[in-house]
A and B are shown apart, each in its own frame.
Chain A
Amino acid sequence: MSTRDLFTFSNRHFTIGVGVIAGILVVTGIAGFIVLPFAQPWVQFANVWDAICSAAGVPQRATSVTAPEQAKRLSEVVLTSRTLSRPSQEAIGRGATLAQRCAICHGPTGISRADSPNLAGQYAAVIYKELHDFRSGARTNAVMSPFAVNLTDQEIADLSNYYAYLPRLPAYHPTPQLPKPNIVIYGAPMRGIAPCGACHGSLDNKTGSPWLEGQSEAYMKAQLQAFASSERRNDISQQMRNIARAMTPQEIEAAAAYYASQPPDVVKAVD
């Protein structure tokens, strides 16, 4: 028998091989697409075709249900790899001009002399997101919101690029460096808290998370408390709210004090 005779029904191996495989396929198909869907008493199907489509994973749109209205605004910022790529010198210059009105709180060199965040050398994506959120109302602050409300997209991008361009400077009132507390380095796995350092530097950085070294202790503490009470809600998918809610007051103190005590030159170089 030559290879040519392999694919004919007169070849026993072909008939049996194909027959058995086809048989198994048909039986498992009937079981998986018809019998088992109907065996679930908690699911209702209009007809057999409906059951088959469901088992095949055909996407179904629930037309009768409308999404509930959001009582409060959520962050709508979308970052792509092109959003803030390669700022021109002109863009940074425009940002510097615009930043003059920020200097009263955030300092002329981007280092705050009050308890506002230091912005010098902060990641552009972070400033970009927060300004957008202040503008849209996803984040509100009595002082900051009026500043942000009239900014254009271009101005926000320029400001972000300007502050990212500034050198990272020590805090206005540096304090002695503290050792890493557990919450920063280990998190609390049993309470679902990832280490602070996994996103905010010290261990690793994730897009959209600020580096925190040298920030005001009072500011960071206030923000964690605002996340915990859901007063602040512009974090994506409640990432920070879920963490802050599970943190103990002592952990909030320890994390804020630790980051405030760090000089900015320990920020992990990832960019």
Chain B
Amino acid sequence: MLVNRKLILAHFWLAFAVFGVALTLGAWQMFIRSPIGTWLSNPELYYRSLTAHGTVMGYVFPTLVAMGFGYAISESALEQRLVGVRWAWAGFWLIVIGSIMAVIPIALGRASVLYTFYPPLIGNVFYYLGVVLVVVGSWIWVALMSVNLRVWRKAHPGAPVPLAMYANVAGSYLWAWTAVGAALELLLQIIPVAAGLKNTIDAGLARVFFSWTLHAIVYFWLMPTYIAYYTIVPRAIGGLVYSDSMARISFILFLVVAMPIGMHHTFADPQVGAGFKFIHSAFTALVALPTLLTVFTICASVEIAARLRGGRGLFGWIRALPWDNPMMLALAFSFVMLGFGGAGGLINMSYQLDASIHNTQWITGHFHLIFGGAIVIMYFAIAYDLWPHLTGRELIDVRLIRTQLWLWFIGMIVTTFPWHWVGILGMPRRMAYFDFGDPAIAPQALSVTFSAIGGFILLTSGIMFIVILARGMRAPRVDAGPYRFAIAVHQSKTVPVALNTHALWVALMIVLTITNYGYPILNLALGAGTSVPAVYVGAQ
């Protein structure tokens, strides 16, 4: 039951429009930094572009997808009209205003601080205020998801919450809490300096606050992807979810252990104690658990589909899968990229192994493979799956969709594998320029060139994606029927209260944040002499 289709479409269209712009900037950055491009002679322009790319891809694009998808889930899984539609529009417009507010200083070169802020570098105050508005807009969505679930519970006392909504609300709570770290950094530290009220800043504390946000935000980006794995893919390929409880356990595990692990981003930071780094490292290892559970459950669900289609044998069933179905293709690509990216992630989170790749291009390769690859390809799949239900029109060209997914997969592999490789060779990240004429790095020129070509394959695929959706707006009308989610093999009538509510897991998430972040934050916040003078972008 999708009633507020305009609202959902607005979120998706804005998300994909800004995605298209940021993707173009990304491809340009890869080109200009590679041996095939002529150096700009102006690093500031490069960092300006990099800031815009990161801010859009990190804050605006995935947040809008999660919000749009969240509203769609709330209406179709709960089968009730969205409560608080006006508030939802208010949230949307806050994001629009925030994005414009943030982009203008970036375009003027007044906020080339990268999306990770990097104090003591300080940009124009409107950049940060814009980011705050985007976050506030998304918090309205968090509140609405909670309210809608509450309204539904009142009408259905004791009934199991549909899996899609359960996971969706878990994702929204994760986002609400993980955004607090960056919000504290912005409101207490950066904005007072950017507004001229102070001129020193505790950069170490700011980095700890940001690590609070920076890792769990990845799991917030991941939530729509995982929801699609569990609740869309099995239905789309004609299968059933292998286990409803396993799915719920995976989502609550994300809620609990995605949060207190961010300090593996600060392994090289001297202001954080080694003991806390170890604890965060250990908890990061735990976060592999829900992913492994998911891989198992989804493989089992897919096998069910294959066997229902007549697949036989230990591995012979794989051939019986509907490989011409874009959803099947997207899932397979997503899993391959998740596998490689996850394996790389295990290296990043290991306290000692990290030392060999910290701050190299390996890291850039890693998060592009996971986020741009495994996660975003499922965003495409979600859009393709929802589109006919949102527009009332059919997406006719399935071949084009398949080509688009293939290109994205190939492009992402061609981009990120050489990136990992040059990272191992020691190439630093966040550099605007490399002198490939120098004998010391000349051998890396070939890998970097491949990587840049991959960037253009991705750009081609991204343009195709937008064209497919745009053409879908003008295709012949069709009745797509109600939007359904996959059902489990054993659809239980009752679910234990712990797996039907979020309170226990949210409480654990907050407690673990306090145990794992409390002391380091207090230590830095109360310690004297930890602030350094701010460095203003473009100041003289």
Q: Within 8 Å of chain B (Cβ to Cβ): is A7? A: yes
Q: B441, B498, B520, B538: which contacts A270 (Cβ < 8 A)?
A: B538
| Across-interface contacts of B434 in A (CB, < 8 A) | 189
- With A6-B501, A17-B508, A25-B515: A31-B523 Cβ-Cβ less than 8 Å: no
Known: A55-B274, A56-B273, A205-B540. A186 touches B433 (CB 8 A): yes
- Please determine whether A186 and B435 come into contact, CB atoms closer than 8 angstroms: yes
| CB of B275 closer than 8 Å to a CB of A | yes
**Which chain B residues lie closer than 8 Å to A25 at the CB level?**
279, 512, 515
- Interface flag for B440 (CB, 8 Å): yes
Q: Does residue A137 face the partner (Cβ distance < 8 Å to B)?
A: no
The answer to whether the Cβ of A141 comes within 8 Å of any Cβ in the partner chain is: no
Expressed in whole angstroms, the minimum distance between the Cβ of A179 and any Cβ of chain B is 12
* A-chain residues with CB within 8 Å of residue B291 when the two chains form the complex: none
**Cβ of A203 and Cβ of B44 under 8 Å apart?**
yes
Question: 1/0 contact trace for B500-524 toward A, CB 8 Å?
Answer: 0101110110001001000110010
* Complex contact B279–A32 (CB within 8 A): yes
Q: With contacts A13-B496, A186-B433, A186-B435 known, is A3 near B503, CB below 8 A?
A: yes
- Residue of B274, B277, B498 near A14 (CB, 8 A) is B498
* Chain B residue, CB-CB nearest to A35: B278
**Within the complex, which residue of B41, B498, B527, B540 is in contact with A207, where a contact is CB–CB below 8 Å?**
B540
Residues on B with C-beta less than 8 A from A24 are 282-283, 286
A68 within 8 A of B: no
Give the size category of A's interface with B.
35 or more
Q: Tell whether A58 pairs with B523 under 8 Å between CB atoms, given A28-B282, A28-B283, A207-B539.
A: yes
Q: How far is the CB of A219 from chain B (nearest CB, A)?
A: 21
Q: How far is the CB of A187 from chain B (nearest CB, A)?
A: 8
B274 and A32 contacting across the interface, CB-CB below 8 Å: yes
Q: Per-position contact with A for B259-284: 1 when CB-CB < 8 Å, else 0?
A: 00000000000011111111100110
Q: Is B39 among interface residues, defined by CB-CB distance under 8 A?
A: yes
A41 touches B (CB below 8 Å): no
- Shortest Cβ distance from B196 into A: residue: A81
The answer to whether B271 touches A57 (Cβ under 8 A) is: yes
Residue in B43, B279, B286, B507 whose CB lies within 8 Å of A29: B279
Q: Which of B277, B438, B496, B527 is the one whose CB lies under 8 Å from A59?
A: B527
A189 to B43, CA, bound (A): 13
List of B residues within 8 angstroms of A207 by Cβ = 535-536, 539-540
29 contacts between A and B (CB under 8 A): A1-B496, A1-B497, A2-B497, A7-B507, A11-B498, A13-B497, A13-B498, A17-B508, A21-B256, A24-B283, A28-B283, A32-B276, A33-B275, A56-B519, A56-B520, A56-B523, A57-B274, A57-B523, A80-B533, A81-B536, A82-B199, A185-B41, A186-B433, A189-B431, A203-B41, A203-B42, A205-B538, A270-B538, A270-B540
Report which B residues bind A (CB closer than 8 A): 39, 41-44, 196, 199, 256, 271-279, 282-283, 286, 431, 433-435, 438, 440-441, 496-499, 501, 503-505, 507-508, 512, 515, 519-520, 523, 527, 533, 535-536, 538-540
